[in-house]
């Protein structure tokens, strides 16, 4: 079958949309939403204004889509899916996730995409706030549920308040990302990871001792 092959601009709506979302995600990550210049974004995406305004009603709509279709899935993939492995110890999973956080200089410098966008836009735009809040809620829900499952299995101490601990963990995680971003110092992030791991270890149920 021929396969139209190498068309200058292969008419592909889905692909165009995807390119826009990816480019928008990167630009927003680098410059913030308001600091993102549409022209630059479009150049990086290799998409024209007409095409963009065909897919998104406004810059704002594109930003909303980035939250829903990029940031959401990223959180899903990094946190929620691993936590849904029903045969794993949630503490182990969480530790692995935290330790898996990139320490690459550019990531340290730029911080957490979700937190960045949320911090910038939440007080200014309810649309952004609601959407990022949903992701935070899902994130929190995933951790909380996993901790509870761990309690039922005796992997997590019974005295732990799952919901509060999940908030504690997220605050800690985002807080360290913020500090490291400001300090531009990967060591701080690394040290933060150790602190978080220590905290997570403290949630384990005490091992059964023998006489």
**Chain positions contacting a copy of itself, by CB under 8 A:** 30-32, 34-35, 109-111, 115-116, 118-120, 122-124, 129, 132-133, 136, 164, 167-168, 170-176, 178-179, 181-184, 188, 191-192, 194-195
Report the residue number, 38 or 160, with the smaller CB distance to DNA: 38
- Residue 193 interacting entry, from DNA, a copy of itself, none, C-beta within 5 to 8 Å by type: none
Beta carbon of residue 190, minimum distance to a copy of itself (angstroms, whole number): 11
Report the residue number, 5 or 159, with the smaller CB distance to a copy of itself: 159
Report the residue number, 17 or 149, with the smaller CB distance to DNA: 17
> Could you tell me the sign of the dihedral formed by the alpha carbons of 90, 92, 93, 99, in that order?
positive
Report the residue number, 13 or 96, with the smaller CB distance to DNA: 13
Report the length, in residues, of the chain.
211
- Residue 12 interacting entry, from a copy of itself, DNA, none, C-beta within 5 to 8 Å by type: DNA
Report the residue number, 43 or 183, with the smaller CB distance to a copy of itself: 183
Residues whose CB falls within 8 Å of the CB of residue 176, separated by 6 or more in sequence, listed in order: 188, 189, 192, 193, 195, 196
- Residue 54 interacting entry, from a copy of itself, DNA, none, C-beta within 5 to 8 Å by type: DNA
Contact between 159 and 151 under an 8 Å Cβ cutoff? The reply is no
As a whole number of angstroms, the distance between CA 201 and CA 199 comes to 5
Beta carbon of residue 14, minimum distance to DNA (angstroms, whole number): 8
- Residue 139 interacting entry, from DNA, a copy of itself, none, C-beta within 5 to 8 Å by type: none
- Residue 51 interacting entry, from a copy of itself, DNA, none, C-beta within 5 to 8 Å by type: DNA
As a whole number of angstroms, the distance between CA 18 and CA 75 comes to 18
Quickly count helices (H) and strands (E) in the chain. Answer: 12, 0
Backbone angles phi, psi at 38, to 5 degrees: -60, -40
Beta carbon of residue 108, minimum distance to a copy of itself (angstroms, whole number): 10
Report the residue number, 22 or 31, with the smaller CB distance to a copy of itself: 31
- Give the up-direction half-sphere exposure of residue 50: CA atoms within 13 A in the CB hemisphere: 0
> Strand, coil or helix: what is 155?
coil
Beta strands in the chain (DSSP E): none
């Amino acid at each position: 079958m021929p396969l139209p092959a190498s068309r200058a601009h292969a008419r592909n709506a889905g692909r165009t949309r995807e390119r826009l979302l990816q480019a928008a995600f990167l630009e927003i990550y680098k410059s913030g939403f308001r600091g993102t210049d549409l022209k630059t974004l479009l150049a990086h995406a290799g998409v024209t204004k007409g095409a963009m305004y065909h897919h998104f009603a406004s810059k704002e709509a594109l930003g909303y889509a980035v939250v829903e279709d990029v940031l959401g899935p990223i959180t899903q993939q990094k946190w929620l899916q691993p936590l849904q492995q029903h045969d794993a110890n949630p503490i182990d999973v969480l530790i692995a996730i935290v330790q898996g956080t990139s320490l690459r200089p550019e990531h340290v410098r730029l911080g957490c995409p979700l937190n960045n966008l949320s911090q910038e836009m939440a007080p200014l735009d309810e649309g952004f706030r609601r959407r990022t809040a949903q992701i935070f809620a899902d994130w929190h829900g995933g951790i909380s549920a996993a901790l509870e499952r761990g309690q039922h299995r005796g992997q997590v101490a019974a005295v732990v308040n799952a919901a509060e601990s999940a908030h504690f963990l997220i605050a800690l995680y985002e807080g360290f990302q913020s500090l490291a971003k400001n300090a531009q110092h990967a060591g701080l992030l690394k040290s933060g990871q150790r602190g978080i791991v220590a905290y997570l270890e403290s949630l384990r149920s005490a091992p059964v001792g023998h006489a």
